[in-house]
Amino acid sequence: MTSSTPEPARRTLLTLAATAALAGLPAFTASAAPARPADEPAGRTDARHLLWWRAPGDAHSLIEQGLPVGTGRLGALASNDPGRELLLITDATMWTGGLNDTLDADGQFPYGRDDFGSLTLLARLTVDLPDHDLGSVTGYRRTLDLDRGVVGCTYVQGGATYRREVFASRPDDVIVVHFTQSGGGRYTGTVTLEGTHGEDPAPSFGASFPGGLRYGAAVTAYGSGGRVRVRGDRIDVAGCREFTVVVGGGTNYAPDAAAGYRDPSLDPLELARTKVRDAAAHPAEVLRRTHVADHQALYRRFDLDLGTSTARARGLDTWERVNLRHTGGEPDPELEAAYVHFGRYLMIAGSRGSLPMGLQGLWLDGNDPDWMGDYHTDINLQMNYWMADRTGLSPCFDALTDYCLAQLPAWTDLTHRLFGDPRNRYRNSSGKTAGWTVAISTNPHGGNGWWWHPAGNAWLCNTLFEHYEYTLSRPHLERIHPLLRGAVDFWEARLVTADAPDGTGEVLIADSDWSPEHGPLDAKGITYAQELVWTLFGNYARAAEELGRDHEHAARIARLREKLYLPGVSPKTGWLKEWMSPENLGETTHRHLSPLVGLFPGDRIRPDGSTPKEIVEGATALLTARGTESFGWANAWRALCWARLKNAEKAYQLVVNNLRPSTGGANGTAFNLFDIYQTGPGRGIFQIDANLGTPAAVSEMVLYSRPGHLELLPALPAAWSSAGSVSGLPARGGFTVDLAWRDGEPTSVRIRSTGGRRTTVVHGGTSRTVALKPGESVTLNGFAR
Amino acid sequence: MGSSSYSVLPARGLRAVVVLAVAAGLATTAPAARADSAPSSPASSTAPAAKPYMGWSSWSMQSSKYPGLNPDGDYSYLTEANVLKQADAMAAKLKKYGYEYVNIDAGWWRDRAWTPEFDGYARQKADPKRFPRGMGAVADDLHAKGLKAGIYLPVGLEKEAYDDGKTPIWNAEGCTTADIVYDDLRTTNGWDSAYKIDFSDPCAQKYVDSQARMFADWGYDFLKLDGVGPGSFKSGDNYDNVADVAAWQKAIAATGRPIHLELSWSLNIGHAADWKKHSQGWRIDTDVECYCNTLVSWENSVDDRWVDLPAWTRHAGPGGWNDLDALDVGNGEMDGLTKAERQSAATLWAIAKSPLYTGDDLTRLDSYGLSLLTNREVIAVNQGDTPPAHLVTASDPQQVWAAKNPDGTYTVALFNLADRPAAVTADFSALGFTGRAAVRDLWNHESLGTHRDGITQALPAHGSRLFTLTPKGAADVSRTGYEAESGGNTLAGSASVADCSACSGGKKVGNLYTGGRLTFNDVVVPAAGTYQVRISYVSGDARPASVSANGNGAVRHTFAATGDWGTVSTATVPVQLKAGANTVTVDSGSDYAPDIDRIDVIRSS
């Protein structure tokens, strides 16, 4: 479809609105009574599943020192200071802006906190226990139990051992802080809930943003052995042997463009009160068991063991291990595996039943996160979700699908109305516009921010399609089909013809564009767009085949795909070209790897003989030139690319670079394992993409897959080779893999079909073909030496 | 008082009206000494300043803009009524813990407009508004409460007392103020508020004698001599007050009354021997007071003490102590410090064996402040027969200080000077022993059981812990030394070997700046692990350097000043070593690093 007339677009809008209505209920909504398990399985104390520290978080540095919890929608950072527990709470839908559909003078989108908007805090919860000042307690120990999804701390004072647990329960839709002790201790203090947008402190509050989004939060507390009562704007706790604080909240956001992304019938304040009251009807142990069961249903789908660490590393807390890993220069396989499991913990805590995770997930330390904490569609959002399938958390991927579907009507409308604006330097020179695309930044209210990003639609679709390749879920494919179709329509209207650089005739190239955040602003046929569209068109054809629809259109798209220009190697630089030019038009070590999207996440460039040697060499040379010292997400992407090139040690070096302890805002890993992105001298900010992208890289080092092809241990570094295992590892093509290795060689391999029927399994020089029915599994013995 | 006060006083402007002040002085015909004066307390049976003194000083409250403290103008808090009120509170709450000195600071001879009073012999005289009964009556009252009395003077002949050189010197036939200063009226002290005294004229000693006699006759037990140089932010001949201090020592001795002589402020460490010879204590730093709405603040300048004290530690001992200034931890609101900061200050003062005098309003101590000031276990660290603690680690945000006590125990303090909570570890091998030790938490009056190899605690921002460690059948550590000047080392950049008489082997490696680097090439250990490496270094000022092993993960440390370029100190830092041969590198990076004498790798033997 290449028409720019409004009528078909309006029809599309209606169709899509109907689809979006199926996308999901409002994020904050009444929920059924959860199943309450009678007991809780034994916890795991392996270092890779249990992080611990010897110091609490500083109230003013929670972004680096707070420990995250989240229900998938409602998240918090906890200080775990004995004398003052502080939780900074936000909700994935707590967004200040709106549709933002008035272009700036340059034809691009405004990017401010009022128009485009920003993720922002919902509330601060403080539990003051003045007698428990950190200076007066001993033996302080703080844990993040990844396996149970529980943050906690213990300490001793006056002969009593005090224990605190913080968890965010998706079944009960609240955050719980449970204070217990043994040895005759008592708790006396105050619980205070405060808004962060000028609301009066109160045990519950509700307000709204100028754009109309309503929000609310509520807290309650209950205990035993003493007294808990509301006193004015706070809750007093006096002489309790144990007590529990329950906090909840949310907004009236609805993932529905037709409703303006609001549920007018929803009163967030009332709902928050109801939720905390319902939860508070249960003892904290029951709430915790309910939460742990829910958490482990996801967490325990997968495990990864990269080997045993040295005795001296094992004696240290997590932050000391991060430092020892850096200063000692020796591998710490347990810490490196823990970093993967921490990313998985964040995915479970941050991406369920609501919006997907943007630049910071659910974790903020102020109302104004850098870059709004938004969705960046030119790497960061996609990177966040590479790990979902790769580490056994496919259900967490759905938040991204739901989001794109809910945004599609607005994205389509904005593209139709605004993309062709003559002031937009990226508009189609043909004058025709179809389908949908996005800007570099997007928000949850259908809005775009900053500059148009034409190829963003293709990358989002390819990411959604990859999830189909992992799951072979036909319902998922049906759901995303409108997104694919709209993106294909967009590119059908946008491609222009040009003479092939090698003189082989006419090719199709993308209109003027900016290779993300790099080089010239008006380059035609950028590699980034060519590769993404080539993959998009291929995915569209496969979707048509799987769904048995659109044969003619798919055939036409397949023909267009064959005419797409695909980049070669610059004779000048020896690199795979980023632009249709032999020159290096940008920064050699630029953070983005946009011209390598065909290496990862794409499949066009394969070092297995199926891709021309010079292309692989050109990609390798470009990746080499980009270096190994960059921001966290950029290192993660580099690690993924090196894994695809089977260079285990380079990939490992990049993983390790992200584990460098960050001090003074430097790039690396903070005290709480959050990735820090240095924005200037002495200033760093949290960006979650490296926390999520690095686990994807580790997964790709252990298993490479594409439909019909699995490769075991393609890039296993020496540091992890002596012995290790992975279980529940999904593979593209509809399989999961259990794999153990010793001395770098597989010792046991089990393949289970989750829908896939046939695949080759490769390791070293050995190749096996496996044929299975869905649900069946097979153990392969042929790979052990 | 000290660094900030005088220069901002109204007095500065009043120098122009010095004539007026002198005229007032002449009009006064007070007796030179009180007829009824008599020693009010027996001479101490122990040596002077056998242990750090304890008490209270008026300056913190005088200097503060805390609401209500100085309603009649700057420094107006100082009155007889207020001093006696504080003395009553001290007698009631603190005396039984050892606090005894009540020290009257600057201004007792000046009115609210800071105009001075003199007695006709160029000696300071009580301002009648502030001290209507005179200074002797106050001392008598203090003694009656079982306390000791302290008083204050700036060093030199105050300009206002000069009176054109005509004022006679008491009990010095033929001597006038003209005889005791230089002909060119060169000025001295930290504020240039006095003429430098020329001790080549015998009249000069007579003048100091007359002041000492006066204080003795009034019954004072303590004198703070302020603005003393080299120090007090001054250097050069005009500000060299060593002769003044010596004269004061002699004059005090001549009175027959034991008067403790304390020097202020920021005394020059190069003259430490002079201060030790002639006085019982010396302020190592600028005023602790912030001259703001609280008494002090962490950044201005409580935290400076951790930076400046290490170089001084070796100079403290019975007879003379490093004075960290007032310990203002008694009332959180007035002090301007967090609880953690208050405990940390009290910890440092205690382990440094600094005099323990508070500047708080003793009538308004809060319960936490009272607990800090009256913790007998902590006071025992300060007052007991134990050496001052020294900085064991580098001068980093997380620090360990320790003293090995005569009874075999160790006093160990952990500090977290960072702005956020952090865990701090005292590694036993860095202290000099291995194995197990029983740990007593002095602040919390709690035994923490037996710990092996080290003890780690979480500390709040600016927080501290104070322990006594009792080793349990512990063994000494062994150390393997590597000289910096060894030919097997690699020197890079500007680094070069230099003579150093205080250094082992008589040499060091210096010129470690902007890329200068010293690598020890063959540091052999039997097993991989974290080793404590004691770095012996020389550094006149505090300097950073990065330390790394085998080219991995350099850690930047700050090395505290050693006091001068001829003194060696040590800092023990953890280094990750592998089994067998290692390289250990000290790298100046983009800075100036200390000179390195040697390193010792500490091993459990």
Cβ contact A65–B340 (<8 Å): no
Q: Where are the domains of chain B?
A: 5-28+54-388, 391-477, 484-604
Alpha-carbon distance B337 to nearest alpha carbon in chain A (angstroms): 14
Residue A263 has pLDDT above 90, yes or no: yes
Q: Would you tell me which CATH number, out of the four given (3.30.950.10, 2.60.40.1180, 1.10.10.1590, 3.30.2350.10), belongs to the domain B391-477?
A: 2.60.40.1180
Cα distance from A162 to chain B (closest Cα, Å)? 15
- In which domain, by residue range, is A738 found? 719-780
Q: Please give the pLDDT value at position B270.
A: 96
Q: Which 171-200 residues of chain B touch chain A by CB within 8 A? A: none
Q: Is A465 part of any domain?
A: no
| Residue A562 burial (C-beta neighbours within 10 Å; 0-12, 13-18, 19+) | exposed
pLDDT at A532 over 70: yes
* Interchain pair B458, A54: CB under 8 A: yes
A55 CA: distance to closest CA in chain B (Å): 5
Mean pLDDT for the stretch of residues A369-386: 98
Greatest CA separation for chain B: 84
- Closest by Cβ to B555, choosing from A81, A327, A330: A327
- For the stretch B229-245, pLDDT in tens is 999 999 999 999 999 99
B29 pLDDT tier (thresholds 50, 70, 90): very low
Cα–Cα distance for residue pair A121/A686, rounded to 1 Å? 15
Phi and psi angles of residue B301, each rounded to the nearest 5 degrees, phi first: -145, 45
Taking the CA of residue A138 and the nearest CA in chain B, the distance in Å comes to 7
**Is the residue at A479 inside a domain?**
no
- Report chain B residues whose CB lies below 8 A from the CB of A56: 421, 458
Q: What is the least distance, in Å, from the CA of A132 to any CA of chain B?
A: 12
Distance CA B454, CA B395 (A): 19
pLDDT, one tens digit per residue, over B147-180 is 999 999 999 999 999 999 999 999 999 999 999 9
pLDDT tens string A659-704: 999 988 999 999 999 999 999 988 999 999 999 999 999 999 999 9
Contact with chain A for residue B458, Cβ under 8 A: yes
pLDDT, mean over chain A: 94
The predicted pLDDT at position B576 comes to 92
**What pLDDT sits at residue A28?**
84
CB contact under 8 A, A136 and B444: yes
With an 8 Å Cβ cutoff, are A326 and B420 in contact? Answer: no
Percentage of chain B exceeding pLDDT 70 = 92
Smallest Cβ–Cβ distance between A138 and the set B457, B464, B528 belongs to: B457
Quickly state the pLDDT bin for B40 (edges 50, 70, 90): very low
Going by their DSSP bridges, the two strands B433-441 and B463-483 should be labelled as antiparallel
Indicate the CATH number of B5-28+54-388 among 1.20.120.80, 3.40.50.300, 3.20.20.70, 3.40.50.1220: 3.20.20.70
How far apart are the CA of B58 and the nearest CA of chain A, in angstroms? 29
CB A329, CB B552: distance < 8 Å: yes
Q: Does B431 touch chain A (CB under 8 A)?
A: no
What percentage of chain A exceeds 70 in pLDDT?
96
Look at residue A260 and tell me if it is in a domain.
yes
Number of domains in chain A: 2
Size of the A and B interface in Cβ pairs below 8 Å: 89
Q: Which residues, in sequence order, are CB contacts of B164 under 8 Å at separation 6+?
A: B22, B178
Q: What digits encode the pLDDT tens for the residues A545-567?
A: 999 999 999 999 999 999 999 99
Quick one: A452 exposed, middle or buried, by C-beta within 10 A (0-12, 13-18, 19+)? buried
Domain boundary among A281, A308, A328: A328
Q: Is the pLDDT of residue B478 over 60?
A: yes
Residue B537 in this model has a pLDDT that exceeds 50 = yes
Interface with chain A: mutation pick from B464, B558, B576, highest number of A CBs within 10 Å: B576
Neighboring chain B residues of A653 at a CB cutoff of 8 Å: none
Q: Model confidence at B27, in pLDDT bands (50, 70, 90)?
A: very low
Residue listed under structure tokens 């006149």: B540
Q: Give the pLDDT score at B474.
A: 72
Cβ burial, residue B177 (10 Å; 0-12/13-18/19+): buried
> What is the C-alpha separation between B172 and A418, in angstroms, rounded?
100
Which chain B residue has the Cα nearest residue A318? B423
Q: If you measure CA to CA, which chain A residue comes closest to B344?
A: A135
User: Is B420 within 8 Å of A60 when comparing Cβ atoms?
Assistant: yes
Is A763 inside a domain boundary?
A: yes
The encoded tokens of residue A425 equal 């330097």
- Measure Cα distances from A91 to A173, A253, A399 in Å: 11, 10, 14
pLDDT at B20 over 60: no
Confidence of residue A288 (pLDDT cuts 50, 70, 90): very high
Count, residues in chain B: 605
pLDDT at A8: 38
Check A330 against B422: CB less than 8 A apart.
no
Chain A: closest CA distance from residue B544 (Å): 16
pLDDT digits (tens, 9 = 90+) for A87-138: 999 999 999 999 999 999 999 999 999 999 999 999 999 999 999 999 889 9
Q: Which amino acid is at B183?
A: D
Would you say residue B315 has pLDDT above 70?
yes
pLDDT digits over B573-595, tens only?
999 999 999 999 999 999 999 99
According to the model, what pLDDT value does residue A45 have? 86
Residue A636 CA: distances (Å) to CA of A644, A657, B399: 12, 9, 36
- Interchain CB contact of B452 with A (< 8 Å): no
DSSP, res B199: T
The CATH label, of 2.60.120.260, 3.40.50.300, 3.40.50.12280, 3.40.190.10, for the domain at B484-604 is 2.60.120.260
pLDDT of residue B552: 87
CA angle B414, B415, B416 (to 5 degrees): 130
Say yes or no: B579 contacts chain A, CB-CB below 8 A.
no
B422 interaction partners in chain A (CB closer than 8 Å): 55
Give yes or no for B585 touching A (CB within 8 A).
Answer: no
Q: What is the token pair recorded at B106?
A: 């600057």
Q: Is B553 on the interface with A (CB under 8 A)?
A: yes
Contact B323/B49 with Cβ under 8 angstroms? no
Of B129, B64, B2, nearest to B333 by C-alpha is B64
Contact B463 A134 (CB under 8 A): yes
d(CA A487, CA A462) in angstroms, rounded, equals: 10
Distances (CA, A) of A414 to A1, A5, A105, A109, A437: 17, 14, 16, 11, 9
Asked if the Cβ–Cβ distance from A327 to B553 is below 8 Å, we say yes
For residue A139, which residues of chain B lie inside 8 Å, CB to CB? 448, 457
| Residue B36, pLDDT score | 39
Q: How confident is the model at residue B377 (pLDDT cuts 50, 70, 90)?
A: very high
Of the pLDDT bands very low, low, confident and very high (cuts 50, 70, 90), residue B556 is: very high
List CB contacts of B299: < 8 A, sequence separation 6 or more.
Answer: none
Tell me the shortest Cα–Cα distance from A134 to chain B, in angstroms: 6
Q: CA B86 to CA B328: how far, in whole Å?
A: 14
Q: Do B420 and A140 touch (CB under 8 A)?
A: no
**Closest to A687 (Cα-Cα) out of A736, A634, A729:** A634
Nearest residue to A487 via CA among A534, A439, A437, A526: A437
Of A134, A317, A326, the CB nearest to B460: A134
Task: Enumerate the residues of chain A whose CB falls inside 8 A of the CB of residue B448.
Answer: 138-139
Which of A305, A328, A351 is a domain's end point?
A328
DSSP characters over B71-138 = TTSTTTT--HHHHHHHHHHHHHHTGGGT--EEE--TTTTB-TT--B-B-SSS-B---TTT-TTHHHHH
Which of A134, A155, A328 comes nearest B576 by C-beta?
A: A328
Nearest to B457 among A140, A326, A330 (CB): A140
**A638 CA to chain B: closest CA distance, Å?**
22
Give me the pLDDT at residue A325, please: 94
CATH number of the structural domain spanning residue A273:
2.70.98.50
DSSP secondary structure, A663-685, as one string: -TT-SEE-TTS-EEEEEETTEEE
Choose the closest CB to A135 out of B339, B456, B530: B339
Q: How close does chain B come to A191, measured CA to CA in Å?
A: 21
> For an interface test with B, which of A62, A80, A81, A134 has the most B Cβ atoms less than 10 Å from its Cβ?
A134
CATH number at residue A769: 2.60.40.1180
Question: How close, in Å, is residue B550 to chain A by CA atoms?
Answer: 8
- Report DSSP state, residue B338: -
If pLDDT is split at 50, 70 and 90, which confidence band does B1 have? low
What pLDDT, on a 0 to 100 scale, did the predictor assign at position B603? 86
Q: Which of A135, A310, A317 sits opposite B343 (nearest CB)?
A: A135
The predicted structure's pLDDT at residue B24: 37
Chain A contact present for B444, CB below 8 A: yes
Q: Which of A77, A143, A321, A327 to mutate to test the interface with B (most CBs of B within 10 A)?
A: A327
Q: How far is CA A198 from the centre of its chain?
A: 31
Closest-CA distance of chain B to residue A195, Å: 24
Smallest CA-to-CA distance from A449 within A111, A205, A23 is with: A111
Q: By a Cβ cutoff of 8 Å, what residues of chain A touch chain B? A: 53-58, 60-61, 65, 81, 133-140, 155, 158, 310, 312, 317, 323-324, 326-330
- The shortest CB-CB distance from A135 to any of B422, B460, B550 is to B460
Test B576 with A133 for CB contact under 8 angstroms: no
- CB-closest option in B339, B419, B555 to A133: B339
| Cα-based angle B416, B420, B423 (whole degrees, multiple of 5) | 50
Average pLDDT over every residue of B446-475: 93
For the stretch A207-234, pLDDT in tens is 999 989 999 999 999 999 999 999 999 9
Is a pLDDT exceeding 90 seen at residue A765?
no
Q: Say if the Cβ atoms of B458 and A134 lie within 8 Å.
A: yes
Residue B55, phi then psi, degrees to nearest 5: 175, -145
